[in-house]
Amino acid sequence: MFAIKLAYIICALFIVHVAHAVDSIKVHTSALSEDKRRMHKDEVLRRALEISKKNYGTFTLEFVNIELPTTRALRSLETGQLINVFIAAASNKWDNIAIPIKIPVRLGQLSYRLLLVNQSHLDKFKAINSLADLKKLIAGSQKGWTLNEVLNAADIDVVTGSNFEGLFLMLNNDRFDYFPRAIYEVYDELENRQNILKDIVVEPTLALYIPTASYVYVSHEKPRIAQRLKYGLQQMVKNGELKALFNKYYKEDIIRADLQNRKIIKIKNSYFNKQDIFIDRDLW
């Protein structure tokens, strides 16, 4: 009888503990208050957590405001101590180190890249009509980015830098020919640095198409948080909120990019195939 009573007490205590468990989410955030990517990412994660509150209970959301290059973010996510959630460009490397939630939170818009170039070199970009033409030029990128693997696989020469801000100066000093940036990044990044990048412009005739998605990745140490965010994001897909938030932050940039009047250079990304991309056309 005593053993039965003890079992009931332990069970009751477990239920109370679960009922009052608080999920602690720690995510990296940018120091730039007007960064659209930061605001969009933070709002998507907060809404997914709020929507899941009925099923998963309360939560805390901590924004870790430090310089966190992608390579360090990958290591931090593996332990789940400094951060336990991160949004990154999907790749096998990230899939192996953390739990991927395969819902493209930016609707695959990272697939389209515009090029920052020195305006004195615009003529040679006008002559580009194919991937073969593009291979004659050198791209710039940051160490640790998923993009590097894709460009290398396409036999495109890449100069990498360890410091993000330094890449703009390297472009300005002709260390490489172009710096590919997402549509929702390129205009703000250039305008925010116009005082030191007077000769850098957004190349007006080309766009790269590299199938890419931004996924939420969760530390393997926090499987419950992964389940919770997946549920919340699925609900946001169903109720249209994920697409509405995307348009709220990025619609103007997409219109400004005028993709229909650009030559599109396609570059394969072995991580994706047509089935991956078109499982749900509304999300791409």
pLDDT digits (tens, 9 = 90+) for 83-109: 999 999 999 999 999 999 999 999 999
Tell me the residue length of the chain. Answer: 284
- Residues 149-180, buried b or exposed e (16+ Cβ, 10 A)? bbbeebebebebbeeeeebbebbbeeebbbbb
pLDDT at residue 74, rounded to an integer:
85
Q: What pTM does this model have?
A: 0.87
The answer to whether the beta carbons of residues 170 and 176 sit under 8 Å apart is yes
- The DSSP bridge partners found for residue 200 are 118
Fold held by 2-108+213-252+272-283: D-Maltodextrin-Binding Protein; domain 2 (3.40.190)
The answer to whether the beta carbons of residues 37 and 30 sit under 8 Å apart is yes
Q: Which residues of the chain have pLDDT under 70?
A: 1-20, 31-34, 273-282, 284
Q: Cite the residue boundaries of each domain of the chain with CATH code 3.40.190.10.
A: 2-108+213-252+272-283, 110-209
CATH of domain 110-209: 3.40.190.10
Please give the distance of CA 242 from its chain centroid, rounded to a whole number. 15
Q: Give Cα separations from 175 to 86, 117, 172, 190, 201 (angstroms).
A: 31, 11, 8, 18, 16
The maximal CA–CA distance of the chain, rounded, in angstroms, is 88
Torsion sign across C-alpha atoms 42, 43, 44, 48? positive
- The values of phi and psi at residue 179, to 5°, are -125, 105
pLDDT at residue 10, rounded to an integer:
43
- The DSSP bridge partners found for residue 86 are 217
Q: Give Cα separations from 90 to 24, 99, 103, 104, 244 (angstroms).
A: 24, 11, 10, 9, 22
The answer to whether the beta carbons of residues 201 and 61 sit under 8 Å apart is no
Residue holding tokens 């490397």?
93
pLDDT at residue 69, rounded to an integer:
80
The answer to whether the beta carbons of residues 179 and 168 sit under 8 Å apart is yes
Residue holding tokens 């172009």?
178
Q: Which of 197, 202, 249, 252 is nearest to 35 (CA)?
A: 249
pLDDT at residue 280, rounded to an integer:
63
